[in-house]
Structure 1
Amino acid sequence: MKTDSIFYRLFQTFPSAFFELINLQASEANAYNFASVELKQTAFCIDGVFLPVADTSSQPIYFVEVQFQKDNEFYARLFSEIFLYLRLYAPTTDWRAVVIFPRRSLEPIQVQAYRVLLESKLVTRLYLNELGEVTEHSLGVGIIKLVVINKKETPLLARNLITKTRLEVVDQALKQKVLDLIETIVVYKLPLISRQELIKMFGLDNFDIKTTRIYEEVRDEVIEEVRDEVRQEQTLEVVIRLLRRRIGNLSQQLQDSISQLSTEQLENLAEALLDFSTEENLVAWLKDNSTQA
């Protein structure tokens, strides 16, 4: 699932959910505008920035980053983006960074260089699988939970959120946006869901999945992503097994580095490893190839 775009839409639709996530009042959202910021002349793009509106400039800027993949360089990139933003835009207000992980295991381990920042009030780290009771009361946070909940529980939570949306959201335009967002997440997570299941989930008498706003743009893309993920996982498993036969057990750090490779890179590694005899051969290959697209 392309979680960056999902969360961007989510925080655009429900900015209050962000502030509830960080234990502030939902009304705080009224003092902010939300946007994605691309930093000029660089390859950096910050997932989301909550900027105080003009008459509430005493409020801090909130930088939001969503990280759903293991990336040992994540914090290096995050703080580079933040400080480059501060240099380019020279804001006069305080700032905060909020990092959203689906679970703790995806957070980088080697963080010594950033420990002062991570342990300060400037940075908040959130783990979506540890969300508490707030998901039961907040529609926006409940939709966030929908992104990370397991596939088996997805239909029930989606139905509850759809009911909650119809009961609580009065504005018809906003209601449709929320239902579209729930639908998008469901189709991303369950690309093979049947027409009958969607009829039941959305409580409609006549519902054709192929006429939904996002079906055509999502289904083929998601199925291809699923195929790619399966192919990548299978290739990764084979490569790790072959490497163990050639050079013995691999350290966790090396396994993490290999898991970041694309399917094409893994296939190239499968060919190259036939010439490996030591761990140093693997380290050298990764150094030369892991950063290449």
Structure 2
Amino acid sequence: MTARAASRPVGTVTRGTTNPNRLRRMDRWIAATHGAELRRASDAVAVDLGYGAAPWTAVELLARLRAAAPRVRVVGIEIEPDRVAAARPYEREGLTFRHGGFEMPVPGRPLLVRAANVLRQYDEAEVATVWERLCARLAPAGGGSRGGLLVEGTCDEIGRRHVWVALGPEGPRTVTFATRLGSLDRPSDLAERLPKALIHRNVPGEPVHAFLRDFDRAWAAAAPYASYGARQRWIRAVRDLAADWPVTDSPARWRQGEVTVAWGALAPVR
């Protein structure tokens, strides 16, 4: 292998589609659930992996994380050199851009890696290898810390609907469904935004299919709460859903149009 081949970024170029505020729901969840880890670190580095054709998501990630952890630094990484060059004018204190891929050319171990809409174009069989590689780069657990966090998932073009998997150094932990409630007809509408590890598993016999079926039923049963607004209907549906599924968050997050479930309950049948 030549030196040039050895240093070539790992991965393939994405479409690069991005819009301002597209990842706001994911960012707010990260700040709420991982902010304490970022605050405790003496040198907290967060990576926006595959930020796309414009740097908006990295700029916004810095602002949202600094509201929770003022010392955090964000590194935007893109595999397409022209995108990195276009982002350089947006660098500032706490925000830099680098050319790279899944090898993540940053020093040390990041406390956060956000990979949004990156694996959508990959084959399902490739996901586990990418996850393993990225998780191996996360800050390790220890000393009261759970270690770094990888957030990998998919959303629509304007950020109304998201589904993401949160992974630690040990592997996948949870799956979060998040939506602008006013845009939702039924919870299974989120199926089209399932991450690559789950989107082809939304078929009978798979846990994620059963979960979305039960969520739709709970949503239908909570129809009387719609007179109080979509938020109250969602909260009631999630409360009923939690009787049969390992929901890991609380009403404070449900009010945001979110629900988080243990990964083990939705993991694909092998």
Say yes or no: TM over 0.5.
no
- The structure with the largest alpha-carbon Rg is 1
Q: When the two structures are superposed, what TM-score results if normalisation uses the length of structure 1?
A: 0.30
Higher strand fraction (1 or 2) = 2
Q: When the two structures are superposed, what TM-score results if normalisation uses the length of structure 2?
A: 0.32
Higher helix fraction (1 or 2) = 1
Which structure exhibits the higher relative contact order, with contacts defined as CA atoms closer than 8 Å and separated by 6 or more residues? Answer: 2
